[in-house]
Structure 1
Amino acid sequence: MCRSFTLGLLLLAMFISVPGRAAVTADQWLVRFSEAMHSYHYNGVLVYSREGQLDTVELSHDVNEMGEQSRLSYLDGLPREFLQHGDQIVHKISGETVASDRIHGRNPVGRFSGGLEQVKKYYQLQLKGQGRVVGRPAVIVEITPRDNQRLGYRLWLDKESALLLKSVTLDPLSRELETFQFTSFNFVRRDTPLKKEHQQQAPADGASLPWLPEGFDVYLVKDSVPVSENHLANMFGLSDGVSTFSVFIEPLRNDSLKEGVHQYGATVVVVRMVTRNNTARVVTVVGEIPLHTARKVAAAF
């Protein structure tokens, strides 16, 4: 269950870090994008497409003195929704809570939580012209990784508000993996924008993994996380300030996941069995990183 919860957080992540200053460069647009949620309430319906599958999702987002308030609801298939209230994330299916977690330290679902300098250390920023999404003029910003250990992004930012209207995730060869795009969109400027609190990108205390791509820090460590009805795992959450992924480590059981590799749009899943000192464990890497990077993270155990 927790792996599905993590995939939901990755979807929510694209739209939880999104004032009206003029912006000319890609750097300036990204600063506006990362600050805009503190100046606007926004909501709408968006489509999420990958590998021929299309989901329709309703999203609303606000930030107040209590923190972020977000709701993401799937409009197709089984009723599913993710709710964020401050530092609490709740996953519901058919109205019943199936997972709940508390954010520790840096917000793992916040895009560009590390600030502009952190982003530019590992990514190049470029303006790629202008476009139009859901009837609104937009500026296109491309975020290209400086190495092959992370994915790229092409963003369509609303020219008036700098809110995110569309996002395409790109693999290391610049091929499109998945697309998020609003089909209806509304926003209201705050009377008094909230002041953005600076968040340090510090790793979780005492947390380490055998190997991580440069720039990724552990922001969350949890023990005994339920990953299915009968399974518990240790979980590590990692981010480079733009992309996120998680690592689950659990004892090997008869009904454990089989070794293998899966990819769902921009999200990869690598499952590996590890035996050491006569103890067998299952390591699962899941998140928005290239497949070869996920394989290397798992192979280091």
Structure 2
Amino acid sequence: MTFMSPRSACRAVCVLAVLFLWQAAFAQTRVASPVAPPADKAASPTQSADPPPSMGVVEWLQRMHAASRQRSYIGTFVVSAAVGNLSSARIWHVCEGDQQMERIEALSGAPRTTFRRNDRVMTFLPESRVARSERRENLELFPNLLGAPDSTLADLYSARVTGRDRVAGFDADVVQLVPRDSLRFGYRVWSERRSGLVVKLQTLDGEGNVVEQSAFSELQLDAPVKMHALSQMMASTAGYKVEKSELQRTTAQSEGWTLKTPVAGFKPISCYRRAMGGSANPENTLQWTFSDGLASVSLFLEPYDAQRRSQEVVLTLGATYTLTRRLSDKDGDWWLTAVGEVPPQTLEAFAQGLARTR
């Protein structure tokens, strides 16, 4: 993931299914192959078999990710942070073959309704009568698998079942995902026992403290959600000013950037030029995104503007950290905004490793 973005009311959106649609808008997720049930327990997509008694981290994550892509449901999703922030959203999710569609209605904060059909996202802001249309390749699903996960995930996290529980009326396995270093958070995941759908998620710091929790307070699995009906709602922009934001694919190398010191476990997955709200040079704003297979970090780079940028800070909202930093080289100054659901030392490592190549 991240289901809140830029956070608070939208945070329920990003942690959906769990942790999708982060409004900061990262980039690139594919569907993981589901784990096949044992031959003597073959099950339909709506009646999956119980999980094997012992699975590794990759197998657990495959199962959770496949469930988030294969099940239709309606539910109320609540996100809370250790500092007391609370937000919620009503979610309608439908699958038809390889087509995915959601409607997410914010129940807290400013009114907002977000629709997603595959990688196309439309956000309606009724107070300003604005509808924002954009393409998002990375939808912050939890688990945020980039295609079928490889064995490197097992080098970064371990997984173990710690018990059983009930969430929103459903039996769930409680799975602990433990990081093998201090560069990433741990997770405690409640996975619906029959399907593998994530119904509750806690993000844990290095001492095991809960920094953020998200869960369905009410859930209807295999709900009669109609993709055609959601598509019609998404297309109903009458009375709204439609603002379109398109990404332009590029490479960090061609833009003159490199990460001279890689951050362990994190691999570059996309690089775009994108328009950022308030940027004086939207065509020069670069978004470079990295992932370890679960956690994501986005680096936003733009020319430094002394009239707009002055304070270097590290901010946190739940499990999401933001670092801002002025970078200087012989050719001028740049402004870095690093955002990710990772510990602050991970963002610092990225900031320290960035360098200009021209």
Output the TM-score relative to the length of structure 1: 0.83
Does the 8 A contact of 1:31 with 1:116 survive in 2? no
Change (3 A) 1:268 1:12: same
* Structure 1 match to 2:298: 246
* Structure 2 match to 1:195: none
Residue identity (%): 24
* Structure 2 match to 1:14: 18
Does the 8 A contact of 1:108 with 1:219 survive in 2? no
- Amino acid in the other structure paired with 1:60: W
* Structure 2 match to 1:57: 89
* Structure 2 match to 1:142: 176
Aligned-pair distance for 1:220? 1.8
Structure 1 residues 29-108: aligned runs within 5 Å: 29-50=60-81, 51-65=83-97, 67-94=99-126, 96-98=130-132, 100-103=134-137, 107-108=138-139
Change (3 A) 1:244 1:12: farther
Aligned-pair distance for 1:257? 5.7
Does the 8 A contact of 2:18 with 2:68 survive in 1? no
Task: Please identify the structure whose Cα radius of gyration is greater.
Answer: 2
SS in 2 for 1:226: coil
Q: 2: CA distance between counterparts of 1:76 and 1:15?
A: 17
Q: Aligned residue pairs: how many?
A: 282
Gapped runs of 5+ residues in structure 2? Answer: 21-30, 33-44, 225-249
Output the TM-score relative to the length of structure 2: 0.71
Aligned-pair distance for 1:13? 6.7
Q: 1: CA distance between counterparts of 2:186 and 2:341?
A: 10
Aligned-pair distance for 1:206? 6.2
Aligned-pair distance for 1:277? 1.4
Aligned-pair distance for 1:66? 5.4
Q: Over residues 15-58 of structure 1, what are the superposed CA-to-partner deviations in whole Å (9 max), with x where a residue is unaligned?
A: 45894123122435443222213432112001100120110111
Does the 8 A contact of 1:125 with 1:142 survive in 2? yes
Does the 8 A contact of 2:160 with 2:177 survive in 1? yes
Does the 8 A contact of 2:17 with 2:197 survive in 1? no
Change (3 A) 1:188 1:64: same
Residue of structure 1 aligned with 2:333, choices 267, 280, 283: 280
Structure 1 residues 145-164: aligned runs within 5 Å: 145-164=179-198
* Structure 2 match to 1:197: none
* Structure 2 match to 1:299: 352
Change (3 A) 1:93 1:237: farther
Change (3 A) 1:108 1:239: farther
Change (3 A) 1:169 1:61: same
Change (3 A) 1:79 1:11: same
Change (3 A) 1:257 1:43: farther
Change (3 A) 1:64 1:257: farther
More strand per residue: 1
Aligned-pair distance for 1:109? 2.2
Gapped runs of 5+ residues in structure 1? Answer: 191-203
Structure 1 residues 112-191: aligned runs within 5 Å: 112-114=144-146, 115=149, 117-188=151-222
Matched, 1:271 2:324: yes
Matched, 1:218 2:246: no
